[in-house]
Amino acid sequence: MDKEKKLSELDKQVANCQRCPLYQGANKAVPGAGNPNAEVMFIGEGPGYWEDQKGLPFVGQAGKLLDQLLDSINLSREEVFIGNVIKHRPPNNRDPLPEEIKACQKFLDEQIEIIKPRIIVTLGRFSMNKFFPGEFISKIHGQARFVDFNGRRIIVIPMYHPAAALRSVIIKKEIEKDFKKIREFLEKKEVKEEVGEEEKEKKEEQIELFN
Ligand code: URA
């Protein structure tokens, strides 16, 4: 089965998912959307009002900012994949609960496994927690690290959530700056090997590429 087929099979499972109670209050499931061969995958938190209406990720105000940020580094939605930690909207946009995140984890993991992105950008603290539990986004945003995901090394760059940037000019400046890192990594293919060597020397699993 090719990647596209695998993702659409997964979308069907997400649409029928009853692994947690969130489906009961949701209008549409939002599995994620984009290029099955994306080099860059963005992971947000979960659907809000407009995403729940349309069944698509980041189509509200935060999505507009995400589009601008993508545009600023010459990327389009067609080139990347955009997903979320949870696939059904929580009531009144409340934070997802740990048990909801756990119930939904298998879908996100399968998406990563199918797409095999070279770079994952986490948007907000819930997706950051997936890779860097216990860290603070104010401290590590914009710092790329290698993460071993099911035997594959992925560059993970935690960033603020675009919704936070809509509330704060300072955070908006930070996310604009952090986005530039994505372009740097896309153009610097050999970073994988360079850091691989460094990693062997240091015998560490996660390496900071930038400070
Ligand atoms: N916020 C998210 O985290 N995800 C979306 O899809 C939309 C808004």
DSSP states of 138-159:
HHHTT--EEEEETTEEEEEEEE
Among 66, 84, 128, 175, name the best residue to mutate to test ligand 1's pocket (greatest count of ligand atoms within 8 A of Cβ): 84
Give the model's pLDDT for residue 197.
47
Nearest to 74 by CA among 174, 209, 179: 179
pLDDT of residue 1: 82
- Mutation pick for ligand 1 pocket among 30, 58, 88, 111 (CB with most ligand atoms within 8 Å): 58
pLDDT in the model for residue 196: 46
Going from the Cα of 44 to the center of ligand 1, the distance in angstroms, rounded, reads: 5
Looking at domain 3-202, its CATH superfamily turns out to be: Uracil-DNA glycosylase-like domain (3.40.470.10)
How much distance in Å is there from the Cα of 193 to the middle of ligand 1?
A: 33
- Report pTM: 0.91
Q: Classify 149 in phi/psi space as left (phi over 0), alpha (psi -120 to 50) or beta.
A: beta
Give yes or no for a contact between 51 and 64, defined as CB atoms under 8 angstroms apart: no
Task: Provide residues with CB under 6 Å of ligand 1.
Answer: 30, 44-48, 51, 57-58, 62, 84
Tell which atom from ligand 1 comes closest to the C-alpha of 126: 3
What pLDDT score does 52 carry? 98
Pairwise CA distance, residues 155 & 163, whole Å: 23
Contact 111, 86 (CB under 8 A): no
Residue ranges of the chain with per-residue pLDDT less than 50: 193-207, 210-211
Domain ranges of the chain: 3-202
